[in-house]
Amino acid sequence: MFHSANWDQDYCVKGRRLAIIGTGASAVQFVPRLAPEAGHLTLFQRTPTWILPHPDRPISESGRSVFEKFPPAQRAMRRIFDLFQEALLPGLIRHRSLLAPLTALGRAHLRRQVKDPILREKLTPSYAFGCKRPTFSNKFYPALCRENVTVETTGIDAIVPEGIVTTDGTVHEVDAIVLGTGFTVAGHSGFRRIVGRGGTSLADTWKGGEMSSYRGTTVHGFPNFFMLLGPNSVVYTSQVVTIEAQVNYILAALHAMDSQAIWVLEVSKRAQTEFADHTDAQLAGSVWNSGGCSSYYLSPSGRNVTYWPGSVRNFSRRMSTIELGHYHCRSAAVDATKESV
């Protein structure tokens, strides 16, 4: 048994009986590669995933030549993709009916690739599109339609030497189990190594997955600490955009500290609380919060600790400068005065 993130490169799957646990983004990628090699593959599914046609296509020689000779053409194409993804935001946050075309596309993709009505029913999500992370694949559904593949939706009760026991008492005999069960987001081990004021670690502050921050970058109680991709910093385009905006914000903070001789910079509790309250209010009716599913976007209490409450342009604009009024600052001059007294 091994996780997809820690693949056993020495294990040969050819002709083996494989069990896959999970149907998210990881499984969508590796199941089509394993199915043709396996003697039999059983996919254990708790919740089906919305899957859309994969849009990527090879760029022709002539297309690459155009991009090389006319860089504005490449920037324009990137801009088109960016605007398309940004156009999804109103449907994801407020007006769920705007997601109907993508829901229809997902259902059509499933009908086109899966002819067996029983299998198709198993693979049809019952929650709103976007509630969980949707994926893109043209190969996942065909892999599940192979004669040597079974989709099992009965819950797992136990792992035994022979394989997997489901809640109906059936023993599924397998040679290996591949886990596509996701990743630990809230309980990262590194949080224990980051210690703030009073000796409290970030893990203690965010105990139970209840993560909170100021604009996904600073945390009250942790002076001079900045992070990338923190709570509520995810935008619905590319996290490269998030990282670049946060780097600009951190550089602005460092410049302010340098120019004003600030030794300590710590976001105020009030600023962090106001940001959290605003985020909660904005995302309360979003598809992530109320779309009928359970996902890693939400904390155990149901708070959305993942998404930014607005567009990527709003995020970039808000992160373009640092508002020192939202921070407790201590300068070298103040400390020098205290020492002289």
- Bridge-based pairing state of the strands 262-267 and 327-331: antiparallel
Chain mean pLDDT for the chain = 91
Q: Based on C-alpha coordinates, what's the Rg of the chain?
A: 24
pLDDT over 70 (residue 333): no
Residue 247 corresponds to which tokens in the numbers above?
């780097």
Are 31 and 42 spatial neighbours (Cβ–Cβ below 8 Å)? no
Q: Which residue has the tokens 């993804």?
A: 85
pLDDT at residue 141 in the model: 97
In the numeric block, the tokens 């593959």 are attached to 41
Q: Which helix (DSSP H) or strand (DSSP E) does residue 182 occupy?
A: none
Q: Among 50, 158, 164, which Cα is nearest to 110's?
A: 50
Looking at beta carbons, which pairs linking 107-116 to residues 24 or more positions away fall under 8 Å?
109/51, 109/52, 109/53, 109/141, 110/51, 110/141, 113/138, 113/141, 113/142, 113/145, 114/141, 114/144, 114/145, 115/145, 116/145
The model's pTM? 0.85
pLDDT tens column, 201-245? 999 999 888 899 999 999 999 999 999 999 999 987 788 889 999
At residue 332, does pLDDT exceed 80? no
Three-state SS string over 239-300 comes to HHHHHHHHHHHHHHHHHHHHHCCEEEEEECHHHHHHHHHHHHHHHCCCHHHHCCCCCCCECC
Q: Which pLDDT score is estimated for 20?
A: 97
Mean pLDDT of 178-201: 88
Per-residue pLDDT reduced to its tens digit, 43-60: 999 999 999 999 888 889
The answer for residues whose C-beta is within 8 angstroms of residue 145's C-beta and 6 or more apart is: 113, 114, 115, 116, 119
**Phi, psi of 240, deg, nearest 5:** -60, -40
Q: How far, in Å, are 20, 21, 85, 279 from residue 245 at the CA level?
A: 38, 36, 18, 18
**Cβ neighbours of residue 270 closer than 8 Å, sequence gap 6 or more:** none
Strand partners, 51: 135
